[in-house]
């Protein structure tokens, strides 16, 4: 047991380092993109399935409430939270449309859409990103493995170089926290 625990922590540390090496400049560009969008009166729409849905909710809460500093709320919506909307769309149309229909209803040009999928192949996330792009919404993919089809359709992709779902999710959580912290710092001029 002790060896497995040690191995898991070492694996995550190694993947985080590799992710940062491969994505550092892209991460900086995404932080600026999100901060500029929010400063211009737009919002962030986040979505994913399962653990990725939970991450979307977590990040939306950090933007709306606060992260590290006391400041006004920032507009962010997790599209996985309304069970009536999700089941209505899933029942009347298709599960593949549960996020894209919400993007059409809630999104506007200048907003940011962040799709989260560890595999990069979640059909409903891909469809929502495609619809968002058609609407002039900037799109960001948080994914793993080789990025899947999601990385191919998003304007910006942050790909965790791993095929371990737990490891990918841990890196996504770190990325979400960095995004929230740095967007806060940029908008509200927090000094470091």
Distance CA 81, CA 102 (A): 11
- What would the mean pLDDT of 110-127 be, rounded to a whole number? 98
pTM of the model: 0.96
Distance CA 16, CA 36 (A): 26
Assigned token pair, 71: 């400041």
The answer to whether residue 191 scores a pLDDT higher than 90 is no
The answer to whether residue 77 scores a pLDDT higher than 70 is yes
Q: What confidence score (pLDDT) does residue 189 get? A: 85
Contact in structure between 152 and 127 (CB atoms under 8 Å): no
Domains identified in the chain and CATH numbers:
2-187 (3.40.50.10490)
The answer to whether residue 192 scores a pLDDT higher than 80 is no
Distance CA 62, CA 33 (A): 17
HSE value, Cβ hemisphere, 13 Å, CA-based, for 48: 27
- Which residue, chain included where needed, has tokens 């507009």? 75
- Which residue, chain included where needed, has tokens 């599209």? 79
């Amino acid at each position: 047991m002790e060896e497995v625990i040690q191995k898991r922590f070492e694996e995550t540390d190694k993947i985080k380092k590799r992710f940062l090496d491969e994505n550092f400049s892209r991460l900086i560009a995404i932080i600026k993109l999100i901060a500029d969008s929010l400063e211009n009166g737009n919002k962030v729409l986040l979505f994913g399935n399962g653990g990725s849905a939970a991450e979307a909710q977590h990040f939306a809460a950090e933007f709306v409430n606060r992260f590290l500093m006391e400041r006004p709320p920032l507009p962010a919506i997790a599209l996985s939270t309304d069970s009536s909307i999700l089941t209505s769309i899933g029942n009347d149309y298709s599960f593949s449309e549960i996020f894209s229909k919400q993007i059409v209803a809630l999104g506007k040009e200048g907003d940011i859409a962040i799709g989260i999928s560890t595999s990069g192949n979640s059909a409903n996330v891909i469809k929502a990103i495609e619809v968002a792009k058609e609407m002039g919404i900037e799109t960001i993919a948080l994914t793993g493995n080789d990025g899947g089809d999601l990385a191919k359709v998003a304007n910006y992709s942050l790909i965790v170089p791993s095929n371990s779902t737990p490891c990918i999710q841990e890196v996504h959580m770190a990325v979400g926290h960095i995004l929230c912290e740095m967007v806060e710092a940029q908008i509200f001029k927090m000094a470091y």
